[in-house]
């Protein structure tokens, strides 16, 4: 049995959270194995002190600046730690090459994970796990777990895990909201335009809900989301707090644990929120909820299921640009109805 396992997850926030479901499955079957995750700096707070991660290596590199130097440093660090197994959830060249050059004796990766394309990266693995299911019709967390199930010959399912920490910042921010009101969080901007729902639609949702519920609204997101959030607040007509850039990832999780509802687009915050069990309504554009559905029994997902979705086109190449059908055909009333269902409960 492997005792010292390195997990490669040089991916974005949502994917890192979903990979922890595979680590949850691994820990259930092999509780004595030490699991170390290799991650990018921006997502480190999602796994430091996680219940399924024992240690974290942060790989801070920039492709066109310090890439070679940092790669050499990380190879030395990994070689020093004497890992007996490396599991790659990202099928990227850099971590696969690092594991190979660091001399990790067993190196496991999937035949596919983000798309169906063949990759020569698998030549750097000692073991290739064949993924045969349709990626777009299978939860991404299950794809990650399938790598673990097949390699170790185990059954079962895991759930994404996220650290729980005291958060004075969360308490302070929520303390700026009026007391004794429902607390409704919004995430209004996706990582690219084909995931970002209309400002006017968000405004209609907020202003309609205000007529029936005594609620305080606030927007969460990354620091660079703040200007866009201000535009949404202006469209709403004001009286919405802008918390973008004011929280760490663990602060954000604690805010979700204290909020009454979360209305969001498909983004990393969606998967953080899902681990808290908050009631949530998620709007999907060009991505598939069959694959990216938040793993939360209290989640309602809304999609128009356009025949062209899921897609990978650039925003300006969308046939219905500048009003993509996948986003504009999910109407405000659908979100309002889902929100009312939760709030009346």
Question: Which domains does the chain carry?
Answer: 4-152 (3.40.50.2000), 169-344 (3.40.50.2000)
Structure tokens at 131: 């993924």
Q: What is the pLDDT of residues 142-159, one digit of tens each?
A: 999 999 999 999 999 999
Q: Report CA dihedral (130, 135, 139, 144) to the nearest 10 degrees.
A: 30
As a three-state string, the secondary structure of 291-313 is HHCCCCCCEEEECCCCCCCCCCC
Let me know: does 7 contact 39? Beta carbons within 8 Å: no
Q: How far apart are CA 344 and CA 136, in angstroms?
A: 34
Residue 166 burial (CB count, 10 A): 9
pTM for the model stands at 0.94
**pLDDT of the chain along its 345 residues, tens only?**
899 999 999 999 999 999 999 999 999 999 999 999 999 999 999 999 999 999 999 998 776 666 788 889 999 999 999 999 999 998 899 999 999 999 999 999 999 999 999 899 999 999 999 999 999 999 999 999 999 999 999 999 999 999 999 999 999 999 999 999 999 999 999 999 999 999 999 999 999 999 999 999 999 999 999 999 999 999 999 999 999 999 999 999 999 999 999 999 999 999 999 999 999 999 999 999 999 999 999 999 999 999 999 998 999 999 998 999 999 999 999 999 999 999 998
Give the strand order in the sheet containing 34-39. Answer: 55-58, 34-39, 4-8, 85-88, 107-110, 127-129
Q: What is the pLDDT of residues 287-317, one digit of tens each?
A: 999 999 999 999 999 999 999 999 989 999 9
Q: What is the pLDDT of residues 268-285, one digit of tens each?
A: 999 999 999 999 999 999
Distances from the Cα of 168 to the Cαs of 29, 66, 216, in angstroms? 35, 35, 20
Helices (H), the chain: 13-29, 67-81, 93-101, 140-152, 168-174, 199-212, 226-236, 249-258, 268-276, 289-292, 325-328, 332-344
Residue with the two structure tokens 């400002």:
199
Structure tokens at 255: 């805010």
Let me know: does 46 contact 272? Beta carbons within 8 Å: yes
Let me know: does 6 contact 78? Beta carbons within 8 Å: yes
């Amino acid at each position: 049995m492997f005792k010292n396992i390195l997990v490669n997850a040089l991916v974005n926030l949502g994917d890192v959270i979903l990979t922890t479901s595979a680590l949850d499955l691994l820990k259930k079957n092999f509780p004595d194995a030490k699991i170390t995750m290799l991650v990018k700096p921006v997502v480190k707070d999602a796994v430091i002190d996680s219940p399924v991660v024992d240690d974290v290596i942060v790989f801070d590199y920039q492709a066109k600046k310090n890439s070679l130097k940092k790669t050499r440093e990380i190879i030395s660090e990994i070689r020093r730690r004497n890992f007996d197994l490396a599991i790659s959830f990202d099928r990227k060249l850099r971590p696969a090459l690092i594991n190979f050059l660091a001399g990790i004796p067993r190196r496991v990766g999937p035949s596919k994970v983000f798309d169906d394309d063949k990759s020569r990266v698998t030549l750097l693995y000692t073991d290739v796990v064949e993924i045969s299911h349709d990626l777009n019709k299978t939860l991404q967390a299950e794809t990650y777990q399938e790598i673990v199930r097949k390699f170790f010959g185990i059954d079962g399912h895991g759930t994404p895990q996220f650290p729980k920490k005291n958060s004075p910042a969360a308490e302070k921010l929520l303390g700026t909201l009026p007391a004794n009101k429902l607390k409704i969080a919004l995430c209004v901007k996706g990582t690219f335009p084909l995931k970002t729902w209309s400002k006017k639609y968000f405004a209609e949702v907020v202003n309609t809900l205000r007529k029936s519920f005594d609620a305080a609204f606030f927007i969460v997101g990354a620091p660079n989301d703040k200007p866009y959030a201000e535009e949404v607040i202006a469209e709403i007509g004001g009286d919405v707090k802008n918390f973008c850039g004011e929280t760490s990832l663990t602060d954000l999780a604690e805010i979700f644990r204290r909020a009454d509802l979360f209305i969001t687009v498909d983004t990393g915050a969606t998967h953080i929120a899902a681990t808290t069990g908050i009631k949530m309504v998620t709007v999907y554009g060009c991505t598939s909820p069959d694959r990216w559905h938040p793993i939360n029994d209290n989640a309602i997902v809304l999609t128009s299921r356009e025949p062209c979705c899921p897609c990978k086109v650039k925003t300006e190449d969308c046939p219905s640009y500048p009003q993509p059908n996948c986003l504009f055909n999910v109407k405000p009333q659908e979100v309002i109805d889902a929100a009312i269902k939760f709030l009346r409960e």
